[in-house]
């Protein structure tokens, strides 16, 4: 199915047909996708159907992974393909920082969990080494 045409694409095109080519392809794709008018599903059925949700994954066996903290300031990049939570605990920490690009860092709360998307960074400035726990999501 074609994507929804952008806001700059006019629905009408007076030079050809009542609909522009982009909107015609989109609406025809929707019509085909919904059964070409040959199904027994009506608007009330669609509105009252339960929402399909992905079943909740059990995470009780996913343990935090301790990361050995190197010399201060220490920087860790989430090099997995999944989001993780990072917790800095213990030690004498003076600053915890977050970065999306590994260049510009922003100070965040010292006593909080930080979510790291893939390739996000966390930086830790300390005098006594803390423990960095990485929790897969």
Q: Determine if the pTM surpasses 0.75.
A: no
- Choose among 107, 130, 41: nearest CA to 122: 107
Residue range 45-62: mean pLDDT, rounded: 64
The position carrying tokens 């952008």 is: 6
The position carrying tokens 């201060």 is: 72
Helix segments in the chain, DSSP class H: 21-33, 43-48
Q: Distance between CA atoms of 5 and 13, rounded to whole angstroms?
A: 14
Q: Distance between CA atoms of 59 and 75, rounded to whole angstroms?
A: 27
- Segment (H or E) for 94: strand 92-99
Please work out, in degrees rounded to the nearest 5, the angle formed at the alpha carbon of residue 89 by the alpha carbons of 87 and 91.
Answer: 145
Q: Residue length, the chain? A: 137
Question: Residue 71 has what DSSP assignment?
Answer: S
- Segment (H or E) for 108: strand 106-108
pLDDT at 98: 92
Residue range 108-126: mean pLDDT, rounded: 89
pLDDT at 64: 87
What are the structure tokens assigned to 29, written together? Answer: 């794709």
Answer whether residue 31 shows pLDDT above 80. Answer: no
């Amino acid at each position: 199915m074609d994507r929804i045409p952008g806001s700059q694409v006019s629905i009408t095109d007076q030079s050809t047909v009542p609909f522009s080519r982009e909107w015609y392809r989109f609406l025809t794709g929707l019509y085909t996708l919904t059964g070409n008018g040959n199904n027994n599903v009506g608007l009330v059925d669609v509105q009252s159907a339960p929402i399909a949700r992905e079943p909740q994954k059990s995470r009780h066996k996913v343990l935090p992974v301790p990361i050995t903290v190197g010399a201060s300031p220490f920087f860790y990049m989430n090099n997995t393909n999944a989001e993780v939570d990072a917790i800095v605990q213990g030690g004498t920490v003076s600053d915890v920082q977050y970065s999306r690009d590994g260049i510009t860092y922003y100070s965040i709360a010292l006593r909080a969990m930080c979510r790291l998307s893939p390739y996000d960074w966390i930086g830790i400035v300390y005098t006594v080494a803390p423990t960095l726990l990485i929790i897969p999501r």
